[in-house]
């Protein structure tokens, strides 16, 4: 074993060991005494708090979501209100509405705050964002025929393309923990 | 194995220099999923009962999600991503070793840290290949537990500790129950469930101790000896770089406080 592993490598590697016996823990402790407490805590977590053998699937939204409701909550006067309330440019709200963003690139706190300002559920908004992107409303008016699916954009790339100052960028990424959940 | 069954190997190495490997159950389920197709897998992935023979383990969903890159199948990627997000969300109901965060806001922050971390790995993996996501293909739940522990530690830090007890040394002995639970877990005096619950109570009490005493008790809980002459056997004194006498002294002090915390003082 190399002793130059990072803390994350060591803990992650230990966490996915199939054999979680004391012998395995001892081997890690001897090799990585600098992470000893982390390893002991993790071993206890894995031993004592094993995942439930059976999950309820109550929380999974299997029924199709009402996209028109979410879209309406993010459009027109609602969009203006959300942008004002959260201090975002309206184009960010439009990005949500048009499902422009690759959902895995969005900060969770931004999804939560946007959902809260739009008076919709966070899970509902995430489900909406995970649907195919459609051509933005403005363009689809000019398009002939069926709208085409578009590539999704990384949220970081989208922000970089906007002419935002640091305070505006910070508002987008700030968790909103100090001023309520929205 | 035919070509159809062959899976690309993972790339992340273990600390001992071996490439990480998927568990047998994961490989079997991936092979089945490839034969059945995406849409059928997504239907099965809605089953939440882990004991069902049709239950899809999350490692498979990670594999299939990553596999969508090959065909630039954003639609399927988003479906898998959504299901995995829901599973991660559900995992926040699991108990946390350190106890529940002290406020809803801390709980929220912890959840978002876990989600953001995983999403960041998924996002980077989409751009090419992020080996760190391999851990989730080996054992999704265990990798998630690692994330939860990190997030808990980051959010709660040491703020929760509020030791106000004096360091009494009137009584050096632990009660018989504490003694059994803390120093001799190999004995089967408790039934498993009772032992587990008692351990959780002990852990909650240990978390309240001052750092140096907490460390000693945590290692004792894992049956790490105070000292060892065998280099392959870790010892508390070698880890903490102190003498065995100091270890014993800290334990004595910790035990007195724990009796109070557990309501077991004489």
Give the per-residue SS3 of B222-249: CCCCCCCCCCCCCCHHHHHCCCHHHHHH
Judging contacts by C-beta atoms under 8 Å, the chain A residues touching residue B90 are: 55, 59
* Cβ <8 Å between B97 and A45: yes
| CA A165 and chain centroid, separation | 23
**Is 60 exceeded by the pLDDT of residue B102?**
yes
| CA B144 and chain centroid, separation | 7
**Is 80 exceeded by the pLDDT of residue B98?**
no
**Is 90 exceeded by the pLDDT of residue A78?**
yes
Q: What is the least distance, in Å, from the CA of B113 to any CA of chain A?
A: 8
Judging contacts by C-beta atoms under 8 Å, the chain A residues touching residue B238 are: 33
**Is 50 exceeded by the pLDDT of residue B158?**
no
pLDDT above 90 coverage of chain A, percent: 54
CA dihedral of B88, B92, B98, B104, whole degrees rounded to 10: 130
Q: Name every residue whose Cβ is closer than 8 Å to that of residue A78 and which is 6 or more positions away in sequence.
A: A72, A118
Q: Using pLDDT thresholds of 50, 70 and 90, give the confidence band for residue B218.
A: very high
pLDDT one-digit tens code per residue, A158-176: 999 998 888 888 889 987 7
- Sign of the alpha-carbon torsion through A102, A126, B108, A73: positive
* Cβ <8 Å between B219 and A102: no
- Give the residue from B79, B128, B142, B198 with the most A CB atoms within 10 Å of its CB, the best one to mutate: B142
Using DSSP, how many helices (H) and how many strands (E) does chain B show? 12, 0
* Cβ <8 Å between A12 and B219: no
Report the distance separating Cα B116 and Cα B121, nearest Å. Answer: 9
Residue A22: closest C-alpha in chain B: B222
Residue B39 is predicted with a pLDDT of 92
Q: Name every residue whose Cβ is closer than 8 Å to that of residue A84 and which is 6 or more positions away in sequence.
A: none
**Is 80 exceeded by the pLDDT of residue A4?**
no
Residue A64 is predicted with a pLDDT of 60
**Is 90 exceeded by the pLDDT of residue B237?**
yes
* Cβ <8 Å between B142 and A15: yes
Residue A132 is predicted with a pLDDT of 86
Mean pLDDT, residues A79-103 taken together? 93
**Is 50 exceeded by the pLDDT of residue A14?**
yes
Higher pLDDT, B61 or B149: B61
Residue B191 is predicted with a pLDDT of 65
Query: Are residues A26 and B233 in contact, defined by beta-carbon separation less than 8 angstroms?
Result: yes
Please name which of B137, B143, B42 lies closest in space to residue B86, comparing C-alpha atoms. Answer: B42
Mean pLDDT, residues B238-251 taken together? 95
Q: What is the least distance, in Å, from the CA of A79 to any CA of chain B?
A: 24
Q: What is the least distance, in Å, from the CA of A148 to any CA of chain B?
A: 13
Report the distance separating Cα B87 and Cα B81, nearest Å. Answer: 10
pTM above 0.80, yes or no: yes
* Cβ <8 Å between A1 and B17: yes
* Cβ <8 Å between B142 and A16: yes
- Give the residue from B10, B13, B15 with the most A CB atoms within 10 Å of its CB, the best one to mutate: B15
Q: Using pLDDT thresholds of 50, 70 and 90, give the confidence band for residue A141.
A: very low
Q: Name every residue whose Cβ is closer than 8 Å to that of residue A174 and which is 6 or more positions away in sequence.
A: A109
Q: Using pLDDT thresholds of 50, 70 and 90, give the confidence band for residue B171.
A: very low
Counted across chains A and B, CB pairs separated by less than 8 A come out at 173
Average pLDDT over chain A reads 83
Judging contacts by C-beta atoms under 8 Å, the chain A residues touching residue B17 are: 1-2
Higher pLDDT, B196 or A81: A81
Residue A167: count other Cβ atoms within 10 Å of its Cβ: 9
Residue among B115, B148, B219 minimizing CB distance to A108: B115
Residue A125: closest C-alpha in chain B: B82
* Cβ <8 Å between A37 and B218: yes
Please name which of B1, B51, B52, B61 lies closest in space to residue B29, comparing C-alpha atoms. Answer: B61
Mean pLDDT, residues A134-150 taken together? 53
Put simply, the chain A residues between 81 and 110 with a CB less than 8 A from any chain B CB are 102-109
Please spell the DSSP secondary structure of A130-164, one letter per residue: TSPB---HHHHTT--SSPPPB--B-HHHHHHHS--
Residue A136 is predicted with a pLDDT of 57
Residue B89: closest C-alpha in chain A: A59
Kindly indicate whether the ipTM for this predicted assembly is greater than 0.85, answering yes or no: no
- Give the residue from A32, A106, A108, A123 with the most B CB atoms within 10 Å of its CB, the best one to mutate: A108
Tokens standing for residue B5: 């069954």
Residue B90 is predicted with a pLDDT of 85
* Cβ <8 Å between B82 and A126: yes
pLDDT one-digit tens code per residue, B104-113: 888 889 999 9
């Amino acid at each position: 074993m190399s002793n130059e592993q990072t803390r994350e490598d060591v803990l992650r590697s230990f966490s996915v060991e199939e054999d979680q016996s004391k012998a395995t823990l001892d081997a890690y402790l001897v090799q990585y005494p600098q992470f000893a407490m982390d390893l002991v805590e993790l071993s206890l977590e894995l031993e004592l708090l094993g995942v439930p053998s059976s999950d309820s699937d109550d929380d999974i939204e299997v029924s199709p979501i009402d996209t028109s409701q979410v879209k309406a909550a993010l459009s027109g006067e609602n969009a203006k209100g959300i942008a004002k309330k959260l201090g975002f440019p309206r184009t960010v709200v439009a990005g949500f509405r048009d499902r422009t963003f690759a959902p895995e690139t969005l900060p969770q706190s931004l999804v939560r705050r946007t959902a809260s300002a739009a008076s919709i559920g966070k899970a509902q908004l995430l489900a909406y964002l995970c649907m195919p992107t459609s051509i933005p409303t403005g363009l689809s008016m000019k398009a002939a025929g069926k709208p085409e699916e578009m590539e999704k954009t990384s949220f970081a790339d989208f922000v970089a393309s906007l002419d935002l100052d640091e305070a505006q960028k910070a508002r987008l990424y700030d968790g909103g923990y100090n001023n309520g959940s929205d | 194995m035919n070509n159809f069954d062959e899976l690309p190997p993972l790339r992340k190495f273990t600390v001992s220099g071996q490439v990480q490997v998927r568990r047998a159950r994961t490989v079997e389920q991936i092979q089945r999923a490839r034969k059945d197709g995406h849409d059928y897998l997504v239907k099965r992935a809605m089953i939440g009962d882990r004991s069902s023979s049709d239950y899809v383990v999350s490692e498979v969903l990670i594999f299939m999600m990553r596999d969508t890159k090959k065909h630039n199948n954003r639609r399927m990627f988003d479906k898998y991503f959504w299901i995995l997000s829901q599973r991660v969300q559900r995992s926040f109901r699991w108990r946390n070793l350190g106890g529940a965060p002290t406020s809803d806001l801390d709980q929220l922050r912890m959840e978002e840290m876990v989600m953001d971390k995983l999403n960041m790995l998924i996002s980077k993996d989409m751009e090419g290949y992020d080996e760190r996501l391999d851990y989730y293909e080996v054992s999704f739940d265990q990798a998630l537990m690692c994330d939860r522990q990190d997030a808990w530690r980051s959010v709660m830090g040491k703020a929760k500790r509020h030791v106000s007890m004096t360091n009494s040394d009137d009584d050096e002995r632990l009660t018989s129950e504490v003694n059994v639970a803390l120093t001799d877990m190999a004995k089967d005096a408790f039934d498993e469930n009772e032992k587990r619950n008692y351990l959780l109570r002990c852990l909650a009490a240990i978390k309240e101790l001052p750092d140096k005493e907490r460390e000693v008790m945590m290692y004792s809980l894992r049956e790490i000896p105070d000292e060892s002459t065998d280099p392959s056997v870790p010892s508390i004194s070698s880890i903490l770089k102190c003498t065995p006498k100091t270890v014993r002294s800290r334990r004595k002090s910790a035990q007195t406080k724990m009796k109070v915390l557990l309501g077991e003082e004489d």
